[in-house]
């Protein structure tokens, strides 16, 4: 821990909300990235050499090489984000570097966006907006812009943690039948509250759903969880929504199946190779594409920033920060 007479050097990789940056400048010896240009690997390596605390975001790749380049004074990586798959946790632990994140503050925002995509894809909202803006709309017609009703349809939720459950609560209000696949079955009272049916087999659930939404964590086990084989189990009238991690879906296989009419469409906020998007997806009118904005609310970003500040201040005060993701011996 730094001495009480010296403020820790805190290096931040991206621009954060003004209120958070102002508070960070008051509390610590803070170096900001006012240009908001993502740092290259070489720049990340250079930045960690002088930091006591490093504040990356989920798009910064904090590899073993980056961590190996850190000075001995680096003791805390206070990540601005919930996921930590962008950080080599083993390398950090070996160096005795604490890693913290900002859990629990983006649940409702992400669930809102998932619900928006669940509505937007089947009802062709983006197509309709484009038609109206392009001046190509000739007026109302009985068979124009027909989408699919979601009331009474089956929603399959992959991953029933905080976000999955928040989506289920919203979906109930839209008359959807709630189904889920999770590594562990929920307690009976939670299932009853959500009117949710558990499927032990993901394959079987996929084959019976009208809408599928993904809310699983980023782990090696969830890479291409929806593989080409599993995507082929989905009905031709069904839609897929993803607001979790892009690599949960075999993107190329998904694009091909939608292109061939074997899946009805999709609503995507995340992609396998962000910020690059599969060119085939870009050509498909029945796919709603968003620029990873599921958690992008003013309130959410401020809440994330507050958690980063608390984690750093707690560490600077000589205590273990509350949101640590790995345990380091004192």
Given a contact cutoff of 8 angstroms between Cβ atoms, the answer to whether 242 and 214 are in contact is yes
Q: Which of 245, 247, 251, 272 is labelled catalytic?
A: 245
Q: Which residue's entry shows tokens 């979601």?
A: 150
At which residue do the structure tokens 């004192």 appear?
Answer: 330
Any domain includes 35: yes
Laid out side by side, the sheet with 211-214 consists of 196-198, 177-181, 154-158, 211-214, 239-242, 265-268, 287-289
Residues 47 and 163 in one domain: no
Residues across the chain: 330
Asked if residue 157 has pLDDT above 90, the reply is yes
Let me know if 274 is a catalytic residue: yes
pLDDT tens column, 243-259: 999 999 999 999 999 99
In DSSP terms, which residues pair with 31 in a beta bridge? 11
- Indicate whether 168 and 208 sit together in one domain: yes
Q: What is the dihedral of CA 323, 327, 328, 330, to 10 degrees?
A: 80
What is the pLDDT at residue 326? 82
Among residues 15, 208, 292, 324, which one is catalytic?
292
The pLDDT value given to residue 219: 86
23 in a structural domain:
yes
Residue 151, domain member (yes or no): yes
pLDDT above 60: residue 4: no
Total domain count, the chain: 2
Give a yes or no: residue 322 inside a domain.
no
> Would strands 287-289 and 265-268 be described as parallel, antiparallel, or unpaired?
parallel
Using the predicted structure, report yes or no on whether residue 1 has a pLDDT greater than 80: no
Does residue 327 fall inside a structural domain?
Answer: no
DSSP 220: G
The predicted-structure confidence for 280-325, as pLDDT tens digits, reads as follows 999 999 999 999 999 999 999 999 999 999 999 999 999 999 999 9
In a domain, 324, yes or no: no
What pLDDT, on the 0 to 100 scale, is given for residue 286? 96
- pLDDT tier at 330, thresholds 50, 70, 90: low
* Residue-wise pLDDT tens digits, 164-216: 999 999 999 999 999 999 999 999 999 999 999 999 999 999 999 999 999 99
Asked if residue 309 and residue 239 are part of one domain, the reply reads no
- pLDDT digits over 23-77, tens only? 999 999 999 998 999 999 999 999 999 999 999 999 899 999 999 999 999 999 9
Do residues 94 and 232 both lie within one domain? no
Q: Residue 2's pLDDT band (boundaries 50, 70, 90)?
A: low
The answer to whether 321 and 76 have CB atoms below 8 angstroms apart is: yes
The whole-number average pLDDT for the span 120-132 is: 97
- Model confidence at 3, in pLDDT bands (50, 70, 90)? very low
- 212's tokens: 């599928």
| Residue 316 DSSP SS3 | helix
* Same domain assignment for residues 122 and 185: yes
Query: Which pair of tokens denotes residue 269?
Result: 């906020």
- CA count, 13 A, side-chain hemisphere, 207: 8
Is this prediction's pTM over 0.95?
Answer: no
**Torsion angles phi and psi, residue 168, rounded to 5:** -60, -40
**Is residue 144 included in any domain, yes or no?**
yes
Residues 52 and 118 both lie in one domain: no
Q: Is 94 a catalytic residue?
A: no
Same structural domain for residues 80 and 181? no
Residues 205 and 238: their CA atoms lie apart, in Å, by 12
Same domain? For 73 and 138 the reply is no
- CATH number reported for the structural domain that contains residue 93 in this entry: 3.40.50.720
Which backbone phi and psi does 54 adopt, to 5 degrees? -115, 130
Q: What range defines the domain where residue 209 resides? A: 107-289
Q: Is 245 a catalytic residue?
A: yes
**Rounded Cα–Cα distance for residues 250 and 203 (Å):** 15
- 271 domain residue, yes or no: yes
* Other residues' Cβ atoms within 10 Å of the Cβ of residue 226: 24
Closest CA to 38 of 16, 18, 13: 13
Show Cβ contacts of residue 152 under 8 Å, excluding neighbours closer than 6 positions. 175, 176, 177
Indicate whether 175 and 132 sit together in one domain.
Answer: yes
Higher pLDDT, 38 or 5: 38
DSSP 37: P
Helices in the chain by DSSP H: which ranges?
18-27, 41-48, 64-68, 89-94, 107-123, 125-133, 162-173, 188-194, 202-206, 228-231, 251-259, 279-282, 298-316
214 in the same domain as 87:
no
- Annotated catalytic residue within 108, 259, 274, 306: 274
Question: Are 148 and 231 within one domain?
Answer: yes
Partnered with residue 212 across adjacent β-strands are: 156, 240
């Amino acid at each position: 821990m730094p001495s009480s007479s010296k403020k820790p050097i805190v290096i931040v990789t991206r621009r954060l909300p003004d209120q958070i940056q102002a508070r960070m400048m008051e509390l610590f010896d803070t170096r900001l990235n006012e240009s908001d240009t993502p740092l290259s690997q070489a720049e990340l390596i250079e930045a960690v050499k002088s930091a006591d605390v490093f504040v990356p975001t989920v798009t910064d790749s904090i590899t073993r090489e980056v961590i190996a380049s850190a000075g001995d004074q680096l003791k805390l990586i206070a990540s601005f984000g919930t996921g930590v798959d962008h950080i080599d946790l083993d390398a950090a632990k070996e160096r005795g570097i604490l890693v913290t994140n900002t859990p629990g503050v983006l649940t409702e925002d992400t669930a809102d966006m998932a619900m928006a995509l669940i509505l937007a894809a089947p009802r062709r909202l983006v197509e309709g907006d484009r038609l109206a803006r392009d001046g190509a709309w000739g007026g109302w017609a009985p068979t124009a812009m027909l989408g699919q009703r979601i009331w009474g349809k089956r929603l399959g939720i992959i991953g029933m943690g905080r976000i999955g459950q928040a989506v289920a609560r919203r979906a109930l209000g839209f008359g959807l039948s709630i189904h889920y696949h999770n590594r562990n079955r929920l307690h009976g009272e939670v299932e009853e509250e959500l009117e949710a049916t558990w499927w032990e087999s993901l394959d079987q659930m996929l084959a019976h759903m009208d809408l599928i939404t993904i809310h699983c964590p980023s782990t090696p086990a969830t890479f291409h969880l929806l593989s080409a084989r599993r995507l082929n189990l989905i009905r031709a009238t069904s839609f897929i929504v993803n607001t979790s991690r892009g690599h949960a879906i075999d993107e190329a296989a998904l694009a091909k199946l939608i292109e061939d009419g074997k899946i009805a469409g999709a609503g995507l906020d995340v992609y396998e190779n962000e910020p690059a998007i599969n060119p085939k997806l870009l050509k498909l009118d029945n796919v709603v594409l968003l620029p990873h904005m599921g958690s992008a609310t003013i309130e959410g970003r401020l809440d994330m920033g507050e958690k980063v500040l608390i984690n750093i201040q707690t560490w600077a005060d000589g205590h273990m920060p509350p949101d640590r993701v790995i345990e380091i011996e004192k």
